[in-house]
Amino acid sequence: MTASRGRPRRSQHERVAESSRRLIEATIELIAEQGYERTTAADISRRAGYSRAMAHKRYGSKEALLGEIMRTDYEQWIGTEPIDDASGMEQILARIDNMGELAETNPQFTRAMFVLQFEALGMGPDFRAQVTDWLHRLGDAVEAAVCVGQRDGSISMRVDPQTFVDDLKSMLIGTAYLWALSPDAVDLPERLRHARDQVRDRLAP
């Protein structure tokens, strides 16, 4: 059976997938433009082209929608799982490279993710816990990569894994904050390339 004008009628699964994609895109756009606090579920629904209750009906809350974006879109770029067949040094540098690639290819999405993390203190406990858990898992993954690198010879034995993790988080979060605050004044991809060089030099045997 075909719909009007000869186009195939979409399945329920296809309609749900499209509406979810549009809601996620609308969320990213609005948060990048105006931040989390000023963005409501109704705003998201309207930006996506639906009734004002659509986002709440689909996800239950704005925070649940944000959590879905973090899990399905952000973590695929800057994940916490070990990278197969890579040295410890390569694993660490790859995470910085991934962040730089995301900043170059999709700056709006990158800005939205940074804004979310910086505004996490003002969000509900569930989303704060999700952001905190992701940062802890990322830190654990980097610390594990340092240990791998010290075993495979790609990272100096003089490096203290936990101290390095703390310093890396501070450097990357600080860089991200400056860019989110003033994107026209900060070249984030270039800053991340510089950070990569610093990390490589610090870890080198």
Tokens 């709006």 correspond to: 108
* Interatomic CA distance for residues 126 and 11, integer angstroms: 33
Query: What confidence tens digit (pLDDT) does each residue in 64-87 have?
Result: 887 777 777 766 666 656 677 899
Query: What confidence tens digit (pLDDT) does each residue in 149-189 have?
Result: 999 999 999 999 999 999 999 999 899 999 988 888 999 99
Structure confidence at residue 6 as a pLDDT band (50, 70, 90): low
* Interatomic CA distance for residues 181 and 78, integer angstroms: 21
pLDDT of residue 118 exceeding 90: no
Phi and psi at residue 187, to the nearest 5°: -90, 95
Range list of β-strands (E), 43-151: none
Question: Cα dist. 29→37, 54, 111, 146, 148 in Å?
Answer: 14, 17, 10, 36, 39
**Count of alpha carbons within 13 Å of 76, Cβ hemisphere only?**
5
Instruction: Please give the structure tokens belonging to residue 72.
Output: 């399905």
Between the CA atoms of 135, 139, 144 and 150, what dihedral angle is there, to the nearest 10 degrees? Answer: 160
Structural domains of the chain, with CATH: 4-61 (1.10.10.60), 75-203 (1.10.357.10)
For the full predicted model, state whether its pTM sits above 0.85.
no
Q: If we measure between CA atoms, which residue out of 39, 22, 33 comes closest to residue 107?
A: 33
pLDDT of residue 116 exceeding 70: yes
pLDDT of residue 2: 46
Instruction: Please give the structure tokens belonging to residue 205.
Output: 């045997």
Q: If we measure between CA atoms, which residue out of 26, 28, 35, 27 comes closest to residue 181?
A: 35
pLDDT of residue 84: 76
